[in-house]
Amino acid sequence: MEVINTLILAIGLLGALGIVATIAAPRLGVPILLIFLVVGMLAGEDGPGNISFDDFWLANLAGTMALAVILFDGGMKTDVDDFRVGLLPAGLLATVGVLVTAGIVAAVAHWLLQLDWAIAMLLGAVVSSTDAAAVFSTLHSQRAGLNHRLKAVLEIESGANDPMAVMLTIGLIEYIRSQGSYTGVMAAEFFVLQLGGGALIGWGGGRLLAFVLARLRLPEPLIPLLAFFGAFLIFGAAAGIEASGFLAAYLAGLTLAKHRPPSMQLVLRFHDGIAWMAQVGLFLILGLLATPHELPKLFWPALALSAVLILVARPFAVFLCLAPLRFSWREQAFIAWVGLRGGVPIVLATYPLLAGTPGARVIFDVAFFLVLMSLLLQGSTVGLAAKKLGLLTPPLRTRLSRSEFDLPGQSGWEVVTYRIARGTQPVGRTVKQLGLADVSRVVCVIRAGQLLPYSQWGKLVANDRLALLSRPEEVPRYDSLFERPRASDLRARDEFLGVFHLAADAPTAEVLTAYGATPPASVRGESLGETLRRHLPQPVEGDRVRIGGIELTVRKLAGRRISEVGLRLPKAEDQR
């Protein structure tokens, strides 16, 4: 009984310390999850906590469950529109990119650590995937705003490459254990079953879960729990037939979000906390597993492998996958640099240990070192890299809050709150004069800290708080109506998107001539929108095309159509 009480105390203390320590993460510019990893290491056998923990089976179980929850949650939060923009490049990075990264790391590990080729390839597979949690917690903490394409590619890749790395790791372990009897046909069958079975069960399980949540009448606290256990059920069903449970969990979350049952908001709120708890627990346990006194033996080889992974393998894989898709060199460089490694490689490194694979301890220690180096070096410079590469999208929105709201029997509504600034259109108008869409409703008006009854709303005044119920597609229009960005934000946005605003149907040749550029023959007869579309099949706000020394930017989109073009005269440093 005393041991159980002590264990509960230790879990509570470590979790609380880790959460409190995250206050320092934004100031230090490091990923929040690195804080939990360090707290776990300090509590371990080489730290002041002196907790001896080497149960790799328990760590593997906890890590697998945590990753299933994180991937299910990631799938639910992935916007279906992101797939239009990011599926092809992210899919290439999650497959070809993983294989290329693993191969380059394996070649260097074979030479540097004198490992057998199969063991070296296993090490490469273990460290080949990026970590969505590490990437986006870092972007958030460093306030790095990116355009839609970059966010979509990074998010989808981080969710999709974990199953690929798991499949590669398990397949190589089976090859090593078979001592040469594992044929190419067996490997092909394994990958087809993993991918096909995982995709089918994830899609079908997500649809079934959405159907059940929409039809079954349950008390509200039990609805998100059903989704939570449903994710484990889908994962287990896929793993039970030797398909990819991780892929199934991710696709189940994505499918559930697409069908969006009326209780979806409850499920999302619950999983926000559960996914964070899974990440916290995962990194604390992985920190406890670490044995820092073993790392100096491998310090220089592991440091060299870290440099190869960060500076050679990842950039080459990104260039190979994205250069044919017309990604700019800036975007390629950023995606290459933000290939952070997180908890997944350390969890995968427990697989060889449990299987008794030769060299398993070396693989675990090197993988742990690579994750530390990636989080420290790449994680602390994400915002700086985006800024130096000119990829930060200047913020304009100053709305107070935006949250989803489910009406009885309906979903897809939001409650958006604004503070009415001086000099904006709503000042001096009544609510009826705002020109809101027929489906939108003002919920309340707060003036001088007081919630006003409807009869006292009258004309709106500066500093009023106004909340309205709206469909998501109407929110951008209300942003323009209510908000007055700071002058510095407007200047930054004009510098990013172009000071000159042009209609998308303006003739490209005439515009270029007017600004002193010689229009190439290819743009004759084209509008600015058509020229940009020819270079950018799937444009997002902020995309740039340089023609004759002039930069044309996608300034505004109306759905998928370019509605406004910016013109930017490159600075001297841009022309180098």
Q: Is residue 394 part of a domain?
A: no
Band of pLDDT at residue 219, cut at 50, 70 and 90: confident
| Predicted confidence (pLDDT) per residue in 312-361, tens digit | 999 999 999 998 887 888 889 999 998 888 888 989 999 999 999 999 99
524: CATH: 3.30.465.10
Which DSSP category does 93 fall into? I
| Residue labelled with tokens 């994205």 | 322
Same domain, 67 and 199: yes
Q: Using CA atoms, how far apart are residues 168 and 161, in angstroms rounded to an integer?
A: 11
421: CATH: 3.30.70.1450
The pair phi, psi for residue 561, each rounded to 5°, is -95, 135
pLDDT at 332: 93
Cβ–Cβ < 8 Å for 297, 364: no
Percent of the chain with pLDDT over 90: 30
> Dihedral sign, CA of 35, 36, 38, 43?
positive
Same domain, 69 and 166: yes
Same domain, 194 and 71: yes
Q: Is residue 452 part of a domain?
A: yes
What is the total count of domains within the chain?
3
Is it the case that residue 153 has pLDDT exceeding 90? no
Q: Is residue 6 part of a domain?
A: yes
pLDDT at 482: 80
| Predicted confidence (pLDDT) per residue in 384-402, tens digit | 888 788 777 765 555 777 7
Q: Is residue 393 part of a domain?
A: no
Q: Using CA atoms, how far apart are residues 87 and 472, in angstroms rounded to an integer?
A: 23
Q: Kindly list the strands in the beta sheet with 500-503, ordered across the sheet, starting from the edge strand earlier in the chain.
A: 500-503, 561-568, 550-558, 544-547
Q: Using CA atoms, how far apart are residues 356 and 233, in angstroms rounded to an integer?
A: 28
Distances (CA, A) of 25 to 205, 274, 378, 382, 492: 38, 21, 14, 13, 27
Same domain, 113 and 176: yes
Q: Using CA atoms, how far apart are residues 38 and 25, in angstroms rounded to an integer?
A: 12
The amino acid at 501: H
Nearest to 166 by CA among 216, 102, 104, 213: 102
What rounded mean pLDDT belongs to the chain?
83
Same domain, 29 and 85: yes
Lowest mean pLDDT among 12-26, 84-98, 219-233, 414-428: 12-26
Lowest mean pLDDT among 71-75, 449-453, 544-548: 544-548
Average of per-residue pLDDT across 162-181: 88
Q: Where are the alpha helices (DSSP H) in 22-114?
A: 25-28, 32-43, 56-77, 80-92, 98-112
Which of 482, 505, 526 represents a domain boundary (last residue)?
A: 482
Q: Is residue 396 part of a domain?
A: no
Same domain, 152 and 183: yes
Same domain, 558 and 454: no
Same domain, 496 and 458: no
Same domain, 232 and 325: yes
Band of pLDDT at residue 38, cut at 50, 70 and 90: confident
Range of the domain at 517: 487-575
Same domain, 285 and 366: yes
Is it the case that residue 78 has pLDDT exceeding 50? yes
**Structure token digits, residue 266:** 């409850």
| Predicted confidence (pLDDT) per residue in 242-286, tens digit | 899 999 999 999 999 888 887 787 888 888 888 888 888 888 888
Q: Is residue 428 part of a domain?
A: yes
Same domain, 269 and 366: yes
What radius of gyration, in Å, describes the C-alpha atoms of the chain?
26
Which of 340, 357, 388 represents a domain boundary (last residue)?
A: 388
Burial code of 36-48, b = ≥16 C-beta within 10 A, e = fewer?
A: bbbbbbbbbbebe
pLDDT at 490: 61
pTM attached to this predicted model: 0.79
Is it the case that residue 67 has pLDDT exceeding 80? yes
Q: Is residue 395 part of a domain?
A: no
Band of pLDDT at residue 573, cut at 50, 70 and 90: very low
Q: Using CA atoms, how far apart are residues 377 and 330, in angstroms rounded to an integer?
A: 19
pLDDT at 44: 82
User: Which helix (H) or strand (E) is 555 found in, with range?
Assistant: strand 550-558
pLDDT at 574: 47
Q: Is residue 330 part of a domain?
A: yes
pLDDT at 444: 93
Distances (CA, A) of 232 to 195, 207, 239, 469: 18, 15, 10, 35
Same domain, 272 and 370: yes
pLDDT at 138: 59
Which of 335, 363, 388 represents a domain boundary (last residue)?
A: 388
Q: Using CA atoms, how far apart are residues 467 and 418, in angstroms rounded to an integer?
A: 6
Three-state SS sequence of 351-375: HHHHHCCCCHHHHHHHHHHHHHHHH
116: CATH: 1.20.1530.20
